[in-house]
Amino acid sequence: MLIALYVLLHCAVTEDSTLLIDEPDNFIALAEIQPWLLKLLDRVDEQNAQVILVSHHPELLNQLAGQGGVLLDRPNGGETRVLAFSPPDDSGLMPSEIIARGWELPAGSQEGTTHRVKRLYEGYVIEVTAFPLQTGGFTTHFYIRKDAKSYTDETLIPSGEVFATANEALEAGFELGKQRIDAGFHPTKIVLDQ
């Protein structure tokens, strides 16, 4: 596999070309793929080419996601959207950890679509959902989690509170979640039957 990647590097990355490689890191050790990746990035710059890499490998995500990573999102089973990877400003996490936690999708404002965003605050995860209203605008609710085993507190904003955009609803839900945590809220543990 590594030999094939070097052949692609030297033969397929040509001037103004586009190359798509699905999971180049499969069956290859990180120590072997990193030198190839650095050479690939140099070659792409030299040839004014474009390479699209699909990968789930944490090291590749950490190295490349911030420099042009994109996400494919298919909200509610609809059309696929291509979105720039833009991690939450305040997460302090590597791209691979953000993706592993499911926080990678930016809060959009596409009408008629449910939107979700997760953020860290004081060691808690606040997950906010903005729901479109048939009358227009959005309403929101949020969950607070300490970890994957915590019960989530569902709190609806009082009825009548309508926001013009999904982003406004998401921000309001996040602020309510922060206020709840600051007031001393602690999620109740789920007890699972063994």
pLDDT at site 15: 93
DSSP state of 72: E
Q: Are 128 and 177 in contact (CB under 8 A)?
A: yes
- C-alpha–C-alpha distance, residues 84 and 69, integer Å: 6
Q: Are 60 and 32 in contact (CB under 8 A)?
A: no
Query: Which two three-digit tokens encode residue 49?
Result: 């080419």
- Phi, psi angle pair for 162, to nearest 5°: -120, 140
What residues pair up with 150 in beta bridges, in sequence order? 189
pLDDT tens readout for residues 82-111: 877 776 655 677 888 777 766 665 544 344
pLDDT tens readout for residues 108-130: 434 456 777 888 888 888 888 88
Outline where 69-185 has alpha helix (H): 95-100, 166-182
Query: Which two three-digit tokens encode residue 13?
Result: 């990355």
pLDDT of 192 > 60? The answer is no
Q: What percent of the chain has pLDDT over 70?
A: 76
Of 88, 65, 102, nearest to 171 by C-alpha is 88
